[in-house]
Chains A and B, each alone.
Chain A
């Protein structure tokens, strides 16, 4: 059973298009993190959302945390080839555990010039 469900699994778009990827769980998140990973490297944190309904922007990336803190979305405006990578959501202390950090399976994004 996958604790954090991410969709879509794969996404291939043209430069300039907009896209949204999702992260969902049946459990309430204490907080939710989004990471981006490039091949052969470790993931790098993009943002942490903590409050239900919270919206955070990072240049062309907009992150939203669901009101019930069970889901989150990442929207990219005018995607660029440099946005290509694996986007992962992660939940610290998932299920009330003190210390774990659970990741979803990720969305593999390819932006073609």
Chain B
């Protein structure tokens, strides 16, 4: 069966520090991978998605970047965090077509 791992679950970082959130998927190959940010109790804002290794589509201009160094690994990074980067970050994967998306447990990032 397929599983998705996202870590860490909680992170407190000072302003100006770097960020690296990692997401890995097991049990499937060539998935579409996604990074979302969610404000408290509200919808998911698509940050980046990837349809294959090295292919990254950015949806929102921001202080963040994403990379897909391996088929089932998706990394969200920042060189210098801003206060406004605080939020709940979710990684997800789905197969090609109109298939269901499966989400990780999320990372609660607080920038102080």
Q: Please list the residues of chain A having a beta carbon within 8 angstroms of any beta carbon in chain B.
A: 6, 30-31, 33, 35, 39-45, 48, 50, 86, 88, 90, 92-93, 97-106, 108
Interface residues of B in 34-54 (CB under 8 A from A): 34, 36, 41-46, 49-51
Q: Please list the residues of chain B having a beta carbon within 8 angstroms of any beta carbon in chain A.
A: 32, 34, 36, 41-46, 49-51, 57, 59, 90, 92, 94, 97-106
Which residues of the partner chain B approach A102 to less than 8 Å between Cβ atoms? 46
Which residues of the partner chain B approach A101 to less than 8 Å between Cβ atoms? 32, 34, 46, 49, 92, 94, 101
Is the beta-carbon distance between A42 and B105 smaller than 8 angstroms?
A: yes
Which residues of the partner chain B approach A45 to less than 8 Å between Cβ atoms? 100-101
Q: For chain B, what secondary structure do more than half of its interface residues adopt (helix, strand, loop), or is it mixed?
A: strand
Distance in Å: Cβ of B58 to nearest Cβ of chain A = 11
Which residues of the partner chain B approach A92 to less than 8 Å between Cβ atoms? 94, 97-99
Residue of B nearest to A49 (CB): B98
CA of A30 to CA of B99 in the docked complex: distance in angstroms?
A: 12
Distance in Å: Cβ of B33 to nearest Cβ of chain A = 9
CA of A86 to CA of B90 in the docked complex: distance in angstroms?
A: 15
Distance in Å: Cβ of A86 to nearest Cβ of chain B = 7
Distance in Å: Cβ of A57 to nearest Cβ of chain B = 18
Is the beta-carbon distance between B98 and A6 smaller than 8 angstroms?
A: no
Distance in Å: Cβ of A51 to nearest Cβ of chain B = 11
CA of A103 to CA of B101 in the docked complex: distance in angstroms?
A: 11
Distance in Å: Cβ of A88 to nearest Cβ of chain B = 6
Is the beta-carbon distance between B51 and A105 smaller than 8 angstroms?
A: no
Known contacts A98-B51, A103-B43, A103-B46; A42/B98 CB under 8 A: no
